[in-house]
Amino acid sequence: MRAVVQHGLEPDQVSLAILDDPEPGEDDVIIEVLAAGVCGSDLHQWHGHPSWAVEPPVVLGHEFCGRVVAAGDRVAGFQLGDRVVSETAAHVDMHSPLARVGSYNIDPERRGFGTRVNGGMAERARVPARCLHHLPDGVPTVIGGIVEPVAVAYNAVVVRSAIKPGDIVVVLGPGPIGLLCCWLAHLAGAGEVLVAGLPSDESRMGHAKALGATFTHTGDPEALPDIARDLSDGLGAHTVIDAAGVSASFVTAMDAVRPGGSITKVGWGPQPLNASLDPIVAKAITVNGCFSHTWPTWEAVVGLVGRRFDEIMPMIGWRGPLEHWIDGFEAMESGTAVKSVLLPSGVAEADSIS
């Protein structure tokens, strides 16, 4: 089979390769991959500075959907031909203390698709059946390639935050996760949703407004706290969702949030912060970390996407066959596409709804 493989940890060690087709274990399903979304972390691996541990050679891709073509003897609940979407926790010790309480997403021994286990940028993928959820009829297959980032955003906004109707919400970073956080904050009833980014993000603010942003800001980050206070009762945002990929945005979050408010950090930032955390103490700010997702979140998200997929479809700015993977990566890196989706089984499948 053809697959997009990272061969080493240095830059530009990604290429299209031919691999043996995977075989299912007793608890596994083999899927014909129909759509695989490109994540910012895939770009980081391409450039040799991954966001987390990588064990090459490995097939990239942790945002994917497909059709069941084979199943292990102990698999139940899935039939040949079913369209499915996959979670990202490829390997989990289901007997660990965290997994036993449903928090397998933050188990230290978790290994994810596309980094330490072969992922979904391939014609076929082996997936534990516990990772799979049915893609509802009526949802275009290409949408299955972006369900995973919706689950990330849902965990940040709905599970890890406490947004109430009428709240003032600030979202830092209009990348795919930030835009989806904007959408979900709007659906959760936020009274105002302010999405903030850099001047280079201006082209994305049309997407933000379509997804529910009431205000956008691409100017001086130091002006953002005053804007948040002007939108509120003078105290600032009830919740700040930090979806930016830099550590410095956390300082902006501390300044923009109101006393007694909360910050949910879902964006990665490897740089040292070099700032005081005293505002957390002085303002009694609640800080919530957020990583990945779990089965209940996925079930909620699959249902939500089944009803409202048309609202997020415009985020997909590039789609194409597996052999054009580099075009999809470059489209996201240049900003011409918010999301790129590879179609390993051919572009004809992209708009299939069953």
SS3 per residue for the chain: CEEEEECCCCCCCEEEEECCCCCCCCCEEEEEEEEEECCHHHHHHHCCCCCCCCCCCEECCCEEEEEEEEECCCCCCCCCCCEEEECCEEECCCCCHHHHCCCHHHCCCCEEECCCECCCCECEEEEEHHHEEECCCCCCHHHHHHHHHHHHHHHHHHHCCCCCCCCEEEEECCCHHHHHHHHHHHHCCCCEEEEECCHHHHHHHHHHHHCCCCEEECCCHHHHHHHHHHHCCCCCEEEEEECCCCCCHHHHHHHHEEEEEEEEECCCCCCCCCCCCHHHHHCCCEEEECCCCCHHHHHHHHHHHHHHHHHHHHHEEEEECHHHHHHHHHHHHHCCCCEEEECCCCHHHCCCCC
What residues contact residue 180 under an 8 Å CB cut-off, 6+ apart?
149, 150, 152, 153, 211, 312
% of residues, the chain, pLDDT over 70? 99
Q: What confidence tens digit (pLDDT) does each residue in 190-236 have?
A: 999 999 999 999 999 999 999 999 999 999 999 999 999 999 999 99
Query: What is the percentage of the chain residues whose pLDDT exceeds 90?
Result: 96
User: What pLDDT, on the 0 to 100 scale, is given for residue 354?
Assistant: 67
**Rounded distance between C-alpha atoms, residue 256 and residue 239, angstroms:** 9
What integer pLDDT is reported at residue 154 of this predicted model?
A: 98
Q: What is the mean pLDDT of the chain?
A: 96
Query: For the chain, where do the domains classified as CATH 3.90.180.10 start and end?
Result: 2-148+293-349
Task: For the chain, give the number of residues.
Answer: 354
Report cis status (omega within 30 of 0) of the bond before 57.
Answer: yes
Residue 348 scores a pLDDT above 70: no
Burial 12-48 (b: 16+ CB within 10 A, else e): ebbeeeeeeebebeeebbbbbbbbbbbbbbbbbbbee
Report the predicted TM-score, pTM, of the whole model to 2 decimal places.
0.97
Q: Mean pLDDT over residues 103-128, rounded?
A: 97
Q: Which residues contact 303 (CB under 8 A, 6 or more apart)?
A: 136
> Which pLDDT value is given to residue 269?
87
> Which residue numbers are catalytic?
41, 44
Domain 161-289's class? alpha beta
Count of Cβ atoms closer than 10 Å to residue 75 Cβ? 20
| Fold category of 2-148+293-349 in CATH | Quinone Oxidoreductase; Chain A, domain 1 (3.90.180)
Where do the CATH 3.40.50.720 domains begin and end in the chain? 161-289
d(CA 128, CA 263): 34
Instruction: Give 178: exposed, middle or buried? Use CB within 10 Å, 0-12, 13-18, 19+.
Output: buried
**pLDDT of 105 over the 80 cut:** yes
Whole-angstrom Cα distance, residue 319 to residue 314? 12
Q: Residue 72 is which amino acid? A: G
Lowest model confidence (mean pLDDT) among 32-41, 43-52, 254-263, 295-304:
43-52
pLDDT of residue 245: 86
Q: Has residue 322 got a pLDDT over 70?
A: yes
What's the pLDDT band for 52 if we cut at 50, 70, 90? confident
Q: Are strands 168-172 and 257-265 parallel, antiparallel or unpaired?
A: unpaired
pLDDT in tens, 267-280: 998 899 999 999 99
